[in-house]
Copies of this chain bind each other. A is one copy, B any other.
Amino acid sequence: MKKGRKLVGEVVKFYKIKDEIRILGIDDSPFNFHKDKRVMLIGTIFRGGSWLDGILKSEIKVDGTDATEKIIEMIRKTKHKDLRVIMLDGLTFGGFNLVDIEEIFKKTKLPVIVIIRQMPDFERIITVLKEINKNKEDYEFRLKCIKKAGKPKKVETKKGKFIYIQYIGIKFEDAKEIVKLSSTRSLIPEPIRVAHLIASGIVLGESRGGA
């Protein structure tokens, strides 16, 4: 644990959140359900909502269960040892490759904040999960990931405009502060906006989404 924060029970306590807090933001690339077996994960390392310090890349299986371990590996391998918080663009990557955010927090000691632009229909997701999961173990893993992430909470990032977040290893007030301070350019934090631009641009030839 570095200066300015402390692991208290199951929450990292931030004594002071700096404007340039180092954030890793992760998004996946677009893919073709019928053709692609793998999809890219792009990580952006940001100083708060301002400067991009580095780019990480990994790959996961479409509809696999390896997103959690690949994200933990990304964090362990990077030379950027000053990361303070992880942000994810939603809880699912590469189709139904769900992320176990509790596991990421346990293994890396870094809080995780899931950024949700539009509230997902969890009942619908659980129904689809039942349909697509041939084996019971995968279904239960995915269901557990959703339950562990908790109920999404509203954060106002611009006046009168809201997004939702799920989080672990951090108090809601601290998570909210980090999300707000890093949403400098749009309604969502820069690490997520830029990860999305890069992941879509690399695969499609031009980035999409104003985000």
Contact = CB atoms under 8 A, between A and B. Distances in A.
Interface of A: 40, 42, 51-52, 54-58, 77-79, 185, 194, 197-198, 200-202, 204-207
Contacts of A205: 56-58, 77
Contact of A54 (B51, B58, B185, B207): B207
Given A52-B194, A54-B201, A77 B206 contact: yes
A191 to B, nearest CB: 12
Given A56-B206, A198-B198, 13 more contacts: A40-B202, A51-B185, A52-B194, A52-B197, A55-B201, A55-B206, A55-B207, A56-B201, A57-B202, A57-B206, A58-B205, A77-B205, A77-B206
A118 to B, nearest CB: 22
